[in-house]
A and B are shown apart, each in its own frame.
Chain A
Amino acid sequence: MSCVNLIEKERNAIINPLKTCQPLGAMYAVTGIRRAVPLVHGSQGCSTFVRYSLSRHFREPSEIAVTSLHEDAAVFGGRRNLIEGLQNVAIRLNPSLIGVITTCSSEIIGDDIIGFIKTAKKELAEKIGEEKTEKIKIVPINTPSFVETHLKGYDNAVKALIDHIAEPSEPNEKINIIPGMVNPGDIREIKHILGLMDIEGIVLTDISDPFDSPLRPSATELKPYYPKGGTTVEEIVDSANSTGTISLTKYAGSGAVSLEKKYNVPVELGPIPIGVQNTDQFLRNLKKLTGQDVTDDILDERGLLIDSMADLSSRYLHDRTVAIYGDPEITAGMARFVGELGMVPQLVLTGASNKEFVPDIGKVAKETGVEIDTMVGGDLRQMEVYLKDNPVDLLIGSSDGRLIAKEAEIPLVRIGFPVYDRVGYHRHPIVGYNGGIHLIDLITNTVLENYYEHQHWKLQQ
């Protein structure tokens, strides 16, 4: 008997989406590569809107090129736009890699991306020489906007990068990590855990520095500006030689599966290490793939989280109802964690339609004994209407729910993407034991502020 109560959206139209289209995920992934440039083959809105979205969330530059398809290209095809665009990016920005990202328009027009790249490379070689041309990796990434969501675009990008670049040579004893679409703080926490277990990692791809980079004019690469950090092309090449791949999300595991099929790199897919048990699972996966022990240092960090839970959960959080919305992996991970905190995950909502989501929620339902109202392929309007008859104590999700939260007078704990009406959320992890500590503080403080402040004497000790 399942304790998941699936609630269907009773209309076809989307009102206030909880997802966006594939190209954004691909642009995000390419930005995580050292000196790489995403080149979007589409209309200017396809780059401008994404740059706007990324910049307002991370408060960082988001440098993305576009082939600027106008009417003539819509009629005759975008051949010259892509060929010229590639050369202009290659010559002016001297990148290590260009990710050619398609859009709805270039997919519908049916542009022969592979053929155009070949021509562009030939013309480029005539201008800057064979050797320089060969140094710039050009990776075609098909991201038709009318198929699935931004997560699929991220998955397609990571897979395309691996398929085009990874090359087997000597085993490297490293572990590949596909982080999914998370924040810089999350990737830093994952690297911290790897460090404590003495494991070297290759993050595919690592946006932690590119989307949270220091302001140090004297130490910044300029003309063109490239942010510090990111996964190097050499690391992607080397990913074929790793001892294993862990994708922190099962929604973007195609690259990992590809590495397994082609080069026998064993793979573990998900879950995202949010909360205690999911992080435990991540550590077990790491141990399984590398043979490294889970060290005392990590267990102490686990103990700090457990300590906080012992101190705070039953006293402040027990039985408080929560609605969680966002990307499927993060939403499922959060649902499990609020269950671990003794809270009630009353509603979970994801904009994606992936089937894997329901069994994940079913597991949480079993663990918590709660019947969880679940919306798959839903939107924020659906949640707004639901909350009128089924109020909760706390909302957990992105800034896009802020006006719903305000009107329903339910406090909102911000996680995921995008968060633009508060600051710092991209810096703090929600993954790993440290992420758990950050989250329990955030959740508890929100509860204290909203449900205890009116009886302030309860807060005296």
Chain B
Amino acid sequence: MPYKLFDVSKPIPERKEHTYVKHCNDPEDCIPKCNSKTIPGSMTERGCAFAGAKGVITGAIKDVAHVVHSPIGCTMYGYGSKRYPTTTELPDGSEFPVKDFNIKYIIGTDLQESDVVFGGMKKLRQAVLETNKEFPFVNAIYLYATCTTGLIGDDMDAVAKEMEEELGKPVIAFNAPGFAGSTQSKGHQIGNDTLFAKIVGTTEPPATTPYDINFIGEYNIDGDLWLLKEYFNEIGINILSTFTGDCCHNELGWMHRAKLSVVRCQRSSTYIAKMIEEKYGVPYIKTDFFSTEYCAENLRTVAKFFGLEDKAEEVIAKRMAKVGPELDFYRKKLTGKKVFIFSGGPKSYHLSIPLHNELGLETTGVSSMFEHEDGFEKMKDRVKEGALVIDDPNTLELEELIEDYDIDLILGGVKEKYLVHKLGIPSLLIHSYENGPYMGFEGFLNLARDMYSAIYNPVWNILEFQETEDPDVADVTGEVAEEVEK
């Protein structure tokens, strides 16, 4: 039987079809059920569509004011929750006046009971005007629907249109109330659809080159983009637009002018790459920049499109010389260690093979909160016989799998991290990273170093009080020092 029902989930037997155990002979379509309604009260780790739209897609844009149309909670929770640093550089050479504006400010309508009864559109209009007065330098204002405004039926598009005319700058409504769809993934899609419909094709770039790409689904988590951008620049490839890490509003408008769309986060943003291809004929490729192997392979692919293969080889060789020796050290230390990847989406298939090939780790299992069928197929393909592939795992199941499987490290989020520690297992933040960036050559080294320090944290050896001292003291520090000297 390729599916497994955790003991803790026996009272909700429908969980069985969400938990697949890899068998190499299973037919291809054998994957866990996913992207479907959550079982109420199952202790899910999933988030909402508003989180998907604001938190993931648009929250990384540097020169936009974000207005959350909600009672106070959603505004508070939309504030600085993701590690999306931004610069002040704008593509036309000018400077945006505030660094990390996207992290620093959030605006909300703070809806009250009377607004729920009589509607909140007046308040939203006022908030837009006040936002523009407070931050006149922003290049656009984005408005976000939430559960409340979805339910009371405020016509946010109408307010956006009216305000855009009045202010003479783009005002865009994102209609992704929290209850839309079964996970935050719905919010990603609405974010893509809205940005495509409202912005793409509305602006022209200050300059173009024959080597222009859209870098789609790269949000600059902890500086990922800045690292990858160096590689592209050195190869001679120009990132014309990033969707949406450290990008500006106008930049999204000229995505139709690129020669190629390079899709990084395939779950959250393949939508817009497809739409741009369909409407404007810009081809797209799906890529992967986690690990040295994938990074090199994908740099080659993108470079080949532009006939810049030799340059790519130079960049790869230079970076490998830089990170290779230290990675060798971590490979020795991590070989044979077992990891479970408890990610939101695509990291569960990006990481399993490189962690094995490059660092010697075994993947005991992978899971995802919001992946769809195509993602789960990749997840399944890239793990070994017997590995778990789980959709929407809940905390009880996490406990059971830690008890039943031999796991040395869990890659997960902040909601799981401290529970995992209580069970005596190290855990590393993989959504927003710990000492990132984790992408690219140097990033993979950071990830390896963080995994090593998590697993080899001396605390795991002294978890419990011992009645008698262990006479056989291993010289761990001496061994490490020796290795580094070599």
Q: Which residues of A contact B (CB under 8 A)?
A: 11-17, 19-24, 39, 42-46, 48-53, 55-56, 59-63, 65-71, 73-74, 80-82, 84-89, 91-93, 103-105, 108-109, 144-147, 149, 213, 215-218, 220, 222-225, 227, 381, 400, 403
Contact = CB atoms under 8 A, between A and B. Distances in A.
Interface in B97-124: 100, 103-113, 115-116, 123
Contact of A14 (B75, B148, B182): B75
A67 B40 contact: yes
B422 A213 contact: yes
B79 A17 contact: yes
A92 B396 contact: yes
B24 to A, nearest CB: 31
Contacts of A49: 47, 51, 73-74, 77, 81
A15 B105 contact: yes
A13 B131 contact: yes
B10 to A, nearest CB: 9
Contacts of B112: 146-147
Contacts of B181: 70-71
Contact of B110 (A14, A70, A403): A14
Contacts of B80: 400
6 contacts: A46-B73, A48-B47, A63-B395, A70-B181, A217-B463, A400-B79
Given A48-B46, A108-B152, A61 B419 contact: yes
Contacts of B177: 43, 74
A225 B41 contact: no
Interface in B172-207: 177-184
A70 B182 contact: yes
B77 A53 contact: yes
Contacts of A19: 72, 76
Contact of B76 (A20, A60, A88): A20
Contacts of A109: 151
Contact of A105 (B8, B131, B151, B464): B151
B280 interface: no
B305 interface: no
Nearest to B65: A15
A305 B113 CA distance: 45
Given A88-B39, A400-B79, A144 B113 contact: yes
A13 B123 CA distance: 8
B105 to A, nearest CB: 6
Nearest to B40: A85
B134 interface: yes
Given A147-B113, A224-B399, A63 B419 contact: yes
A222 B399 contact: yes
Contact of B103 (A42, A68, A403): A403
B123 A12 contact: yes
A108 B72 contact: no
B414 A56 contact: yes
Contact of A62 (B75, B127, B415): B415
A44 B79 contact: no
A104 B463 contact: no
Given A20-B76, A84-B41, A108 B148 contact: yes
Contacts of A224: 8, 395-396, 399
A245 to B, nearest CB: 29
A49 B70 CA distance: 14
Contacts of A105: 147-148, 151, 178-179
Contact of B72 (A43, A45, A85, A145): A145
Contacts of A92: 8-9, 11-12, 42-43, 396
Contact of A20 (B45, B77, B116, B396): B77
B41 A39 contact: yes
A105 B48 CA distance: 13
Nearest to B78: A49
Nearest to B398: A225
Given A48-B415, A93-B396, A42 B147 contact: yes
10 A-B pairs with the lowest CB-CB distances in the bound complex, closest first: A45-B48, A21-B73, A85-B41, A85-B40, A43-B178, A49-B77, A88-B41, A13-B127, A68-B38, A61-B419
Given A44-B38, A91-B11, A224-B399, A11 B130 contact: yes
B234 interface: no
A109 B150 CA distance: 11
B71 interface: yes
Given A82-B40, A88-B40, A222-B423, A44 B396 contact: no
Interface string B58-99: 000000000100111111110111000000000000000000
A163 B131 CA distance: 43
Given A74-B151, A224-B396, A108 B179 contact: no
Contacts of A71: 179-181
A84 B40 contact: yes
Nearest to A82: B40
Nearest to B152: A108
A44 B183 contact: yes
Contacts of A91: 11
Contacts of A146: 71, 111-113, 115-116, 148
A104 B42 CA distance: 21
Contacts of B113: 144, 146-147
A376 to B, nearest CB: 14
Nearest to B38: A68
Contacts of A16: 79, 104-106
A357 to B, nearest CB: 17
A12 B400 contact: no
A253 B107 CA distance: 31
Given A16-B106, A91-B11, A225 B422 contact: yes
Contacts of B41: 39, 65-67, 84-89
Given A17-B108, A144-B113, A24 B9 contact: no
A78 B16 CA distance: 24
A13 B110 contact: yes
Contacts of A42: 147, 178
Contact of A44 (B46, B395, B422): B46
A359 B151 CA distance: 39
B399 A225 contact: yes
B411 to A, nearest CB: 16
Contacts of A89: 41, 43
A217 B106 contact: no
B485 interface: no
Nearest to A377: B110
A84 B463 CA distance: 39
A14 B73 contact: no
Contacts of A69: 147, 179
A108 B48 CA distance: 18
B44 interface: yes
Contact of B48 (A22, A43, A56, A213): A43
Interface string B133-168: 110000000000011101110000000000000000
B254 to A, nearest CB: 30
B430 to A, nearest CB: 15
Contacts of A11: 130, 133-134
A15 to B, nearest CB: 5
B76 A215 contact: no
A20 B73 contact: yes
B418 A12 contact: no
A82 B40 CA distance: 7
A14 B464 contact: no
B486 interface: no
B300 to A, nearest CB: 38
Contacts of B147: 42-43, 69, 74, 103-105, 108
Contacts of A43: 48, 147, 177-179
A81 B40 contact: yes
Nearest to B42: A88
Contacts of A74: 147, 150-151, 177, 179
A68 B77 CA distance: 18
Contacts of B75: 14, 17
Given A60-B418, A68-B37, A104-B147, 14 more contacts: A13-B126, A14-B107, A15-B134, A45-B178, A48-B45, A48-B48, A55-B417, A61-B422, A66-B40, A88-B40, A92-B8, A105-B148, A224-B399, A400-B79
